[in-house]
A and B are shown apart, each in its own frame.
Chain A
Amino acid sequence: MTARIGVVTFPGSLDDRDAQRAVRVSGAEPVALWHGDADLHGVDAVVLPGGFSYGDYLRCGAIARFAPVMQNVIDAAGDGLPVLGICNGFQILCESHLLPGALIRNDVRRFVCRDQWLRIENTDTAWTTQYATGQEILVPLKNGEGGYVADESTLDRLEGEGRVVARYLHDNPNGSYRDIAGISNERGNVVGLMPHPEHAVETLTGPTTDGLGFFASILHGLVSA
């Protein structure tokens, strides 16, 4: 039996189908979860996909944080369940206080959509074991509110504890402090990422297959556990 990875669909999610596909391409079984679900159907990991949950009303991710399924995600994450938040999912994780800091409107005042080079900084998280430390990957990036901000002491703590998972290379697309593209919680089971690895799993539709490593890492971790 392979790993079952849940992908939550909120009203306004866009990338849930692509996330399910990425899970399938990596060899795991995707499980569709609904925002109103009262339980997680026994999945081994959860992906919070990109999009505009609840229309980005109030703040990105602010309403989704109170969706019924999120209380289960928050509790399970506290117990060590691997959770990956991509783009809007990253915003939801910050709003849920599973990750520190916040994401604000891009400093360039534009929605940015392009292929983006990243450097994987931490290969110890549940989602990054299949990368090499310092590996450079190319995946799509698309956001209007992707600027990662946190106070200086939080940023120093993230850096000191190795919790910066990925950093933008060459050109910071959105004003994120210290070029941060993704971070993890202390335990390394919860990761938030602004760029989109789920769009880079097949060369037919993506710039590379560099994104597969995030999903393969979960599969590898569960199989070897």
Chain B
Amino acid sequence: MARVVVDVMLKPEILDPQGQAVQGALARLGVSGVTSVRQGKRFEIDFDGAADEATVQEIASTLLANTVIEDFAVHIEDAG
């Protein structure tokens, strides 16, 4: 089986209020020196056979990420 990991992040130019809220909480936690927090999503998808790269790209670009506002990166972790 294969595990595929897809990381999805808002594009750099898109405002991330959740990241800003986390950054604000860090300050209240007493953590200093944080200049930016951006929040994203991680998907772990297990296939019963080998993962097909084209299929994964299709899944990521049509469902997991909205490419109008998000970028994604695909990693195939285990092809065994």
Residues of A with Cβ closer than 8 Å to B? 58-59, 62, 66, 94-95, 100-102, 104-109, 147, 149-150, 175
Contacts and interface: CB of A to CB of B under 8 A. Distances in A.
B67 to A, nearest CB: 10
Given A58-B63, A66-B63, A150 B68 contact: yes
Nearest to B10: A104
Interface of B: 10, 14-18, 20-21, 63-64, 66, 68-69
A66 B69 CA distance: 19
Contacts of A107: 15, 17
Output the residue of B15, B16, B20, B21 with the most chain A CB within 10 A.
Answer: B15
Contacts of B16: 105
Contacts of A101: 68
B69 A106 contact: no
Given A104-B69, A105-B16, 15 more contacts: A58-B63, A58-B64, A95-B66, A104-B10, A104-B14, A105-B15, A106-B17, A107-B17, A109-B17, A109-B20, A109-B21, A149-B68, A149-B69, A150-B68, A175-B15
Contacts of A106: 17
B9 to A, nearest CB: 13
Contacts of A149: 14-15, 68-69
A104 B15 contact: yes
Contact of B17 (A59, A100, A105, A150): A105
Contacts of A100: 68
A95 B21 CA distance: 25
B20 A102 contact: no
Nearest to A59: B66
29 contacts: A58-B63, A58-B64, A59-B66, A62-B63, A62-B66, A94-B68, A95-B66, A100-B68, A101-B68, A102-B68, A102-B69, A104-B14, A104-B15, A104-B69, A105-B15, A105-B16, A105-B17, A105-B18, A106-B17, A108-B17, A109-B17, A109-B20, A109-B21, A149-B14, A149-B15, A149-B68, A149-B69, A150-B68, A175-B15
Which 4 A-B pairs give the minimum distances between C-beta atoms?
A: A102-B68, A109-B17, A102-B69, A105-B17
A58 B68 CA distance: 15
